[in-house]
């Protein structure tokens, strides 16, 4: 078993395999996501070629893209609808960053 695994790893290495993750959604966090993606890639390059992409076209676009499975991850400033969870029970949403909010005190 270990020999087969080793052979598989060598074959994968020989064909220059890579992992590509495509995301889309909210524009607000893109200034955080871009440096995070670069840092993640540089820390993983010695193990695997990781290609991360994020298309900042708005929360609604990201939500539609993740529900249609045309992206691997999506960013949004609003939660998914209960009907989205009912139609896609394996879809999960969690917070990635917090942004500043301005408000009046009077």
Q: Please report, for the chain, the start and end positions of each structural domain, with discontinuous segments joined by +.
A: 16-106
* DSSP string over 22-56: EEEE-STTHHHHHHHHHHHHHHHTTT-EEEEEEEE
16-106: CATH topology: D-Maltodextrin-Binding Protein; domain 2 (3.40.190)
Q: What is the pLDDT of residue 13?
A: 53
Flag whether the pTM goes above 0.75: no
Q: What is the pLDDT of residue 44?
A: 83
Can you tell me the distance from the alpha carbon of 74 to that of 65, in angstroms, rounded to the nearest whole number?
7
pLDDT at 61 over 90: yes
Kindly report, residue by residue over 5-40, the tens digit of the pLDDT.
444 444 455 556 788 899 999 999 999 999 999 998
């Amino acid at each position: 078993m270990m020999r087969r695994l080793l052979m598989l790893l060598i074959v994968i290495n020989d064909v220059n395999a890579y992992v590509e993750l495509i995301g889309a959604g909210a524009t607000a966090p893109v200034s955080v996501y871009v440096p995070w993606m670069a840092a993640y890639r540089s820390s993983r390059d010695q193990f695997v070629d990781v290609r991360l992409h994020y298309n900042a076209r708005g929360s609604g676009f990201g939500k539609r893209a993740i529900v249609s499975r045309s992206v691997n991850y999506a960013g949004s400033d609003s939660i998914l609808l209960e009907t989205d969870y009912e139609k896609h029970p394996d879809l999960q949403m969690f917070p990635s960053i917090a942004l500043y909010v301005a408000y009046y005190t009077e």
